[in-house]
Structures are given as structure tokens and as C-alpha cells.
């Protein structure tokens, strides 16, 4: 299983964040082309990330790229362009078994064209909506490329038209269900974001709790969160 | 290939660059660089070359490229020039 204790998420359209992220030494840098990029800047971010991966030194971190939903024009362009820079994994929002299968086929084609080993680029579905939680085992079973699941608790609350509490009781069931599914499949279970970047004590508690659920790592939204996560999920 | 309209990409924020491309009626590729004096003196020629290389790579002719630099590294300049040209070619 890949070491994915701390995954620092940044915007794909922000040069400063792209340059600074590896300095915090997370296990992975998640470059977001989806929610952290304005709709009119999707093309610009895609080109920036492609150039960044060929220029900046990410040799000490895994690069994971959140693409736009893979059944949209932007999502397809994201994968087509960025796969050629060989990221460690693509993170796929709004995933279904059909979509994941199609993404896998596109990746196989690109890996052949570029001379990469087949199956080298991983897929991590985002599990955000109730339908994805219900189908988590199907998503995991689609391909051996699926080496992790990212649970997005905020996304689920958005679907319910509400917000997360700091304690997070409302997430007990989905959080547990996803962790068990991942553990049984031997893949990474990546926990939802702790949104208060200034509350390191709260992060500590939340991450310890996630570890008890069976998670192998967690997203960081601030470089200062990385050390705590590396220590807890070690 | 020639662009038919003006387009821009990037932003005037730290570590980024705002690139504006317009058709050059006089012909040729012209780069107008706006950056800090100290950077212009030391790296002006190199930055111009980065822009010209990207324009040539995309096969675009007869364009004025205005580069308002806020401390961008080469990869950012390349990406923003590409995006501006792609937007101008649509």
C-alpha cells in the first residue's frame, strides 16, 4: 500500500502554491483542477499544471491530480493532457463504475503511447454523495488502479443541504463504512478535510479519531497540518 | 497561424504573470515585458526568449505579447502564454 498519510491539497491555478507545496514534505500533493479553479480558468489551470509538473521538483512527493468530473469536456481534457506528465494518481469526483472503467481505458491508451508501464497511474475516486457511499465496493472493484478512496464529508453535507459539525457525529456511518471497505480491499482510506487550518489541537483529535476508524491518511488544507498527520498515521 | 483577436491569461498576483496577446499588424513576434527593473536587467533577455520559444512552439505568427510579470518562473510564463494564444485562436 502506498504511503499516503498526509495529502496537501492546493489549487491548480496558483503558481505560488504549486511551488511551495513540496516544501512542507507531505506524502502527497493534491493539485485540484475541480472545485479550487474558477470555471472560466479551467484551461489556464490545466496548462499551468502540465508545465509545472515538467519544471518543478516533485521528486520527494507523490503528485495526485483532482480532475473535473470525467464525463465533462474539461474532465476529459484534464486527463488527456496531465496523464502525459505521469502523475501518481488521478482523483475522480462524481465517479461511477462506468466512468472509472472509461478513465482506466483512456489511461491504458496514454500509458502505451508514452511508453509508461501499464497500470502505473492510480485512480482514487472521491466518495462524496450517498450514491457513491452505497456503491463504494463496486467503485473499488472496477480496476486494480483504484488504490484508495477519498471520503469527502463536506460534499455529503452539501447534498443534505446542511453543514458539518465540529464533532462530526453525523459522519459516523459513512466514515466507518468507507474505512472498512478500504481496509478489506487493502487500499488507502483517505479521510475528509479538517477545515480549521488554525486549530491544530482539533486536527490532532480528528486525525486520531480517523485512525481509529481505519483511515490510513487525511487531507491537509494548510502546510502546517502536515507534521501532525505524518505523526498520527505513521 | 495568426490570431484574430485579443486575449489574456494569468493574473497580477505574486509569482504569476498577466499575458495579453494582440494581433501584430506590422508583422512578426513582438514581446513587451513589464517587470521590476532589477529582474528586467538580469533576466529580461531570458524571459523574452521563454515567451518567443512558446510562441514558436505553437506556430503562431504576427503577434504582440504583453507580459506583466509579478515574479513568475519560466513554467508559469510558458503556461500563461499558451493559454492566452489558445484563447485568441478560438
Q: A148-179 pLDDT, tens per residue?
A: 999 999 999 999 999 988 778 899 999 999 99
The residue length of chain A stands at 234
Cβ neighbours of A40 (radius 10 Å): 7
Round the average pLDDT of chain A to a whole number and report it: 96
Ordered by where they begin, the domains of chain B are 7-89 (3.30.230.10)
Burial of B78 (0-12, 13-18, 19+ CB in 10 A): buried
CATH number for A219: 3.20.20.60
Tell me if A1 is assigned to some domain.
no
- In this complex, the residue of B14, B73, B79 whose CB is nearest that of residue A47 is B79
- Chain A residues whose beta carbon lies within 8 Å of the beta carbon of residue B83: 43-44, 47-48
Q: Cα(A25)–Cα(A28) distance, rounded to whole angstroms?
A: 8
Q: Looking at residue B43, what is its pLDDT?
A: 80
Rounded-to-integer distance, Cα B70 and Cα A35, Å:
25
**What order do you get walking across the sheet with B63-69 strand by strand?**
B7-10, B17-23, B63-69, B29-34
Give the structural domain span for A35.
6-232
Cell of B84: 492566452
DSSP A141-193: HT-TTB-EEEE-HHHHHHHHTS---SS-GGGHHHHHHHHHHHHHHT-EEEEPP
Question: A12 to chain B nearest CA, in Å?
Answer: 12
Per the CB < 8 A criterion, the answer to whether A217 and A230 are in contact is no
- Nearest by CB: B74 against A43, A48, A55: A55
Q: pLDDT by residue (tens digit) across A83-99?
A: 999 999 999 999 999 99
Residues of chain A with a CB closer than 8 angstroms to some CB in chain B: 14-16, 19, 43-44, 47-48, 50-52, 54-56
Quick one: B5 exposed, middle or buried, by C-beta within 10 A (0-12, 13-18, 19+)?
exposed
Mean pLDDT of A175-185: 97
ipTM, 2 dp = 0.95
In angstroms, the separation between the Cα of residue A84 and the nearest Cα of chain B is 16
pLDDT for B15 equals 96
CB of A125 closer than 8 Å to CB of A95: yes
For chain A, how many structural domains are there in total?
1
In a domain, A125, yes or no: yes
Q: How far is B69 from chain A (nearest CA, A)?
A: 13
What one-character-per-residue DSSP string does A63-84 give?
EEEEPSPTTSHHHHHHHHHHGG
Amino acid at each position: 500500500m502506498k504511503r499516503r498519510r498526509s495529502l496537501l491539497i492546493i489549487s491548480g491555478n496558483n503558481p505560488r502554491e504549486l511551488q511551495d507545496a513540496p516544501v512542507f514534505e507531505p506524502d502527497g500533493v493534491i493539485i485540484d483542477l475541480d472545485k479550487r479553479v474558477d470555471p472560466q480558468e479551467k484551461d489556464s489551470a490545466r496548462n499551468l499544471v502540465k508545465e509545472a509538473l515538467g519544471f518543478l521538483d516533485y521528486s520527494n512527493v507523490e503528485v495526485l491530480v483532482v480532475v473535473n468530473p470525467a464525463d465533462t469536456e474539461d474532465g476529459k481534457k484534464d486527463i488527456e493532457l496531465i496523464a502525459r506528465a505521469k502523475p501518481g494518481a488521478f482523483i475522480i469526483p462524481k465517479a461511477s463504475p462506468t466512468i472509472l472503467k472509461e478513465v482506466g481505458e483512456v489511461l491504458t491508451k496514454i500509458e502505451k503511447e508514452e511508453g509508461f508501464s501499464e497500470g502505473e497511474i492510480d485512480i482514487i475516486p472521491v466518495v462524496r454523495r450517498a450514491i457513491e457511499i452505497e456503491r463504494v465496493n463496486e467503485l473499488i472493484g472496477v480496476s486494480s488502479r483504484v488504490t484508495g478512496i477519498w471520503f469527502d464529508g463536506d460534499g455529503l453535507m452539501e447534498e443534505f443541504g446542511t453543514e458539518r459539525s465540529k464533532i462530526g457525529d453525523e459522519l459516523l456511518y459513512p466514515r466507518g463504512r468507507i474505512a472498512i471497505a478500504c481496509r478489506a480491499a487493502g487500499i488507502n482510506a483517505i479521510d475528509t478535510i479538517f477545515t480549521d487550518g488554525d486549530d491544530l489541537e482539533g486536527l490532532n483529535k480528528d486525525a486520531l479519531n480517523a485512525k481509529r476508524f481505519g483511515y490510513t491518511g487525511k487531507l491537509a488544507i494548510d502546510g502546517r497540518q502536515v507534521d501532525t498527520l505524518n505523526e498520527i498515521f505513521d | 497561424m495568426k490570431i484574430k483577436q485579443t486575449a489574456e491569461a494569468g493574473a497580477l498576483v505574486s509569482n504569476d504573470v498577466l499575458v495579453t496577446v494582440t494581433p501584430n499588424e506590422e508583422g512578426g513576434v513582438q514581446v513587451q515585458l513589464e517587470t521590476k527593473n532589477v529582474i528586467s536587467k538580469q533576466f529580461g533577455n531570458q524571459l523574452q526568449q521563454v515567451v518567443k520559444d512558446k510562441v514558436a512552439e505553437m506556430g503562431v505568427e504576427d503577434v504582440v505579447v504583453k507580459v506583466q510579470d509579478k515574479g513568475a518562473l519560466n513554467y508559469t510564463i510558458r503556461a500563461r502564454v499558451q493559454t492566452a494564444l489558445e484563447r485568441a485562436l478560438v
